[in-house]
Amino acid sequence: MARRANIPKRDRAPLIRPAADTGLGRVLKTKQVVQIADIQRVPGYAANPVQAPIVQLAGARTMLSVPMLKEQELLGVIEFYRTDVRPFTNKQIELVKNFAAQAVIAIENTRLLNELRESLDRQTATADILRVIAGRPEDSKRALDTIAETASRMFDTANVNFRRLEGNVLRMVSSAGPSVSKLREVAP
């Protein structure tokens, strides 16, 4: 059990800086597939506290590191290891390269979907505000309340305030957000 206490957990040490002679280090530099027949003979694995457990505890021997590329930009790396010294075949490497390409497509689709959702949220918010303004053009308070509520929700803020300049004094004319009700409870 004492031996496990020295092993960094991935959630506590999610970022690694691989040594230049490791599979990850070489992929970062070359953006090419890297296969290492026996990683126990590579000093960079033993020296890196995050990667050493792969060798020490998991008994990794043969390592395959495949870049995930989008238009020659490195997005990530897929790594495989075996516990015996047995290099991956060209057919296996080609299949893993295909997996990497599919992973890039999945990552890109997720990014595009998130951008689309954000755009739709902005358009919906703008439409809601315009609907309020068009429905009651004489009621600026209602429009400001709607803008404040929408902004608070979109930007995940505790509070949004609208203040109007009256002479040399700023008067609160609208406020929205989760903290507004708490503030109203304690206000005199």
In tens, the pLDDT along 120-172 reads: 988 988 888 888 888 877 878 888 888 888 888 888 888 888 898 999 999 88
Is residue 53 exposed (0-12), middle (13-18) or buried (19+ Cβ within 10 Å)? middle
Taking 70 as the threshold, does the pLDDT of residue 188 lie above it?
Answer: no
pLDDT level of residue 75 (50, 70, 90 thresholds): very high
- CA 145 to each of CA 170, 173, 176: distance values in angstroms, whole numbers, following the listed order: 17, 9, 7
φ and ψ of 63, to 5 deg: -120, 135
Q: Which of 162, 160, 158 is nearest to 178 (CA)?
A: 158
- Rounded to two decimals, the pTM is 0.64
State how far the Cα of 106 lies from the Cα of 49, in Å rounded to an integer: 31
pLDDT value for 89: 96
Taking 60 as the threshold, does the pLDDT of residue 1 lie above it?
Answer: no
In tens, the pLDDT along 3-43 reads: 444 544 555 556 778 888 999 999 999 999 999 999 988 88
Work out the number of other CB atoms within 10 angstroms of the CB of residue 137.
9
Overall average pLDDT of the 164-181 stretch:
85
pLDDT value for 47: 75
pLDDT level of residue 175 (50, 70, 90 thresholds): confident
In sequence order, what E strands does 44-181 have? Answer: 62-70, 73-82, 160-166, 169-176
Work out the number of other CB atoms within 10 angstroms of the CB of residue 20.
10
pLDDT value for 44: 83
Cα 128 to the center of its chain, rounded Å:
30
Token output for 131: 């609907």
Q: Which of 67, 65, 64 is nearest to 31 (CA)?
A: 67
Residue, of 183 and 121, whose pLDDT is higher: 121
pLDDT level of residue 58 (50, 70, 90 thresholds): confident
In tens, the pLDDT along 81-113 reads: 999 999 999 999 999 999 999 999 999 999 999
β-partners of residue 162 are 174
DSSP 150-169: HHHHHHT-S-EEEEEEETTE
